[in-house]
Structure 1
């Protein structure tokens, strides 16, 4: 495990969770190792969105408006590349942010699941398998719609009417 104060979230991040160890507030689980940050998960996500010329609040508001997801809203950090969903309310310290990677979920006890990514990395979360699968589906729906909207914009330009 490495110490990391970087605020950049990239396509190799699998999950992000709160920790309360010394000066560290976040654990960043990636395909190339586990890192710790002094920033909270929401601050790391804020910085990642800013790095992609937006704000986390703006991304969440857009999703809430277009998709009508008002709670535990998934959002896209980098269009067609990086998306993320919360397992619980982001205000809950047990919230784990899971990124758009292929994964398997196994419920190990009532309200507890293990998420295993394709590289074999696993993380335990305090929610049911159904919650994870629903949130994963919401994120993938969002990313698909975002991709299609981008394609339509490129194909039709200003002629495309916005969905309401």
Structure 2
């Protein structure tokens, strides 16, 4: 049996491994200089971790879609008890997609026509997405965190989106 990567509060990002035929994912963790490799694709890691914590990636996406009234690039709650949320930087079918942990992000900047996500530990990663797109994903994830905590704490959402 192949070993699954367990997402923790140290997990900063999960991306497709581009330089290996055996490993399919690269994982960046806080406090580690080296990337961890895994034989599973990023969305498989996300799905299996969601299953361990009571749901599936598909179900978490439906939940996010309902709360945020969005259809694409949905942020998801991975570990509800620890408030661990991740968002994709692109469509999950896109090989450039990187899943980023919301709680580790300090911001994003554009340098030399490339967008970088800045982490709280002082590191950064380049992403194939616009500054605006990454910023919007961060904001949407924050909205999801707030709404789900509101539901958890008070039993219902106190804010309704009006279309």
Structure-2-length-normalised TM-score: 0.87
- Where does residue 60 of structure 1 map in the other structure? 61
Specify which structure has the higher proportion of strand: 1
Any conservation in 1 of the 2:151–2:157 contact (CA below 8 Å)?
Answer: no
Other-structure match for 2:107: 104
Q: Does 1:13 align with 2:11?
A: yes
Q: Alpha-carbon deviation of 1:5? A: 4.0
Structure-2 separation of matches of 1:72 and 1:120: 26
Measured after TM superposition, the shift of residue 161 of structure 1 is 8.3
Does the 8 Å contact 1:18/1:96 carry over to 2?
yes
In structure 1, the residue matched to 2:144 is 142
Runs of 4 or more consecutive aligned structure 1 residues displaced over 6 Å after TM superposition: 161-164
User: In the alignment, does 2:26 pair up with 1:23?
Assistant: no
- Deviation string 1:37-94 (CA, Å, 9 cap, x unpaired) is 0000000001110110110000001111222110111111112511011111000000
Give ranges in structure 1 of 5+ residues lacking alignment: 154-159
Q: How many residues align?
A: 154
Find the aligned partners of 1:142 and 1:116 in 2 and give their Cα distance.
Answer: 21
CA contact (8 A) 2:67 2:147 kept: no
Task: Give the TM-score taking structure 1 as reference length.
Answer: 0.86
Which residue matches 1:90? 92
